[in-house]
Amino acid sequence: MALIQQPVQGSSSLCANETIQTIHCFSRRVTSVSVMPTTCSTKSPKKRKDRKSSGLIPTKHQVDPKRELSRILRTDAAVKSIERKANSEKYNTLWPKAVLEALDDAVKENRWQSALKIFSLLRKQHWYEPRCKTYTKLFKLLGNCKQSEQASLLFELLLSEGLKPTIDVYTSLISVYGKCSLLEKAFATLEYMKSASDCTPNVFTFTVLISCCCKLARFDLVNRVLLEMSYLGFRCSTVTYNTILDGYGKAGLFEEMENVLADMIEDGDSLPDVFTLNSIIGSYGNGGNIRKMESWYNRFQLMGVEPDITKVLQIIMTT
């Protein structure tokens, strides 16, 4: 953690000027990167001598506007009527497209209560077939809305329908518990997953769990997950490393962050990318350490990592 030193009397304006000059110098140099010279042609574009278009669509591609509008209105009306029918027991022969689109709309808009009602209606249809993909979509929604109890009930429903949970199902359920700060349940789900046949956790599963731990500043559990990964023969991906780096950086644990970055570079397989660069210089920028920020910017350039200039400038402007 960086210590904030009290300025020597009479030198505060000098330090401030030095910092501002450093930022301006760094900003000008960043802006100059990847800026290609442009050439302007003085030649006027040639006028096309083609015949003027009549504006008509060729017959074989022509669509009747009235029929198309009618189709759109019918579809929209059908989708909107689904939620009104969700509480009824008598609708079991509804149009599949309308039901599925209504469910998708509810998920996209994070309306978890409506989504669960529509899903209940979906299960009543004579054409319904249970799919893990649908459950995964709902788990992600419940995670965004932090509805862990509903997720637990949904998982029980999945099992009751005779489905065998996939890696995506378990991973999305772990994410739900993590987002709800229920790390014990998240780790218990991982253990349950490991005991299931033909459903071994993958790198993405562990990365999701690590992300949950980082957001709750439980870095002791991050090390536990890394040991588990190593025991099972998994190596960190670039995304895994970036997740840990971002967590340490936001927590102000710069020494730990640099240690992880050193491991990442030595790994050789999961090399730093533009997201790594953004995390490192963003963390030092937020911490007010301009010199470290500039130093790592230079080192990333030497490693061949091209910066996102817009992102870098945003970081500089907020420093």
- pLDDT at site 308: 79
Band of the pLDDT at 65, cuts 50, 70, 90?
A: low
Q: For position 7, what pLDDT does the model report?
A: 43
> Would you say residue 23 has pLDDT above 90?
no
- Can you tell me which residue has the tokens 């054409």? 127
Percent of the chain with pLDDT over 90: 58
Q: How would you class 143 by CB atoms within 10 Å of its CB: exposed for 0-12, middle for 13-18, buried for 19 or more?
A: buried
**Per the structure block, which two tokens stand in for 142?**
């419940």
Query: Boundaries of CATH 1.25.40.10 in the chain?
Result: 135-234
Average confidence (pLDDT) over 152-163: 97
The residue with greater pLDDT, 195 or 307, is: 195
Question: How do residues 164-196 score in pLDDT, each as one tens digit?
Answer: 999 999 999 999 999 999 999 999 999 999 998
> Picking from 52-61, 94-103, 187-196, 225-234, which range would have the lowest pLDDT averaged per residue?
52-61
Residue 77: what pLDDT? 56
CATH fold label, 135-234: 1.25.40
Q: Is the pLDDT of residue 52 over 60?
A: no
Query: What pLDDT digit, counting tens, does each position of 93-134 carry?
Result: 788 888 999 999 999 999 999 999 999 999 999 999 999 999
Residue 86: DSSP 8-state: T
CB 128 within 8 A of CB 161: no
Residue 206 has pLDDT above 90, yes or no: yes
What gap in Å lies between CA 34 and CA 217, rounded to an integer? 37
**Of 36-50, 81-95, 224-238, 300-314, minimum mean pLDDT range:** 36-50
Q: Given a cut of 70, is residue 142 above it in pLDDT?
A: yes
**CB contact at 8 A, 267 and 275:** no
Whole-number pLDDT of residue 88:
58
Residue with tokens 């937020």: 286
**How does the average pLDDT of the chain come out, rounded?**
81
The H or E element spanning position 95 is none
Q: Say which residues have a Cβ less than 8 Å from residue 85's Cβ, sequence separation at least 6.
A: 91, 94, 121
Q: What is the mean pLDDT of residues 203-232?
A: 96
Query: Of the spans 43-52, 59-68, 235-244, 309-318, which averages the highest pLDDT?
Result: 235-244
Both tokens assigned to 234: 């998994």
pLDDT in the model for residue 268? 82
274: alpha, beta or left? (left if phi > 0; alpha if psi -120 to 50) = alpha
Range of weakest confidence among 37-51, 189-203, 298-312: 37-51
By three-state DSSP, how is residue 181 classified? coil
Residue 307 banded pLDDT, cuts 50, 70, 90: confident
Residues 6 or more apart in contact with residue 203 via CB below 8 angstroms? 229, 234, 235, 236, 237, 240
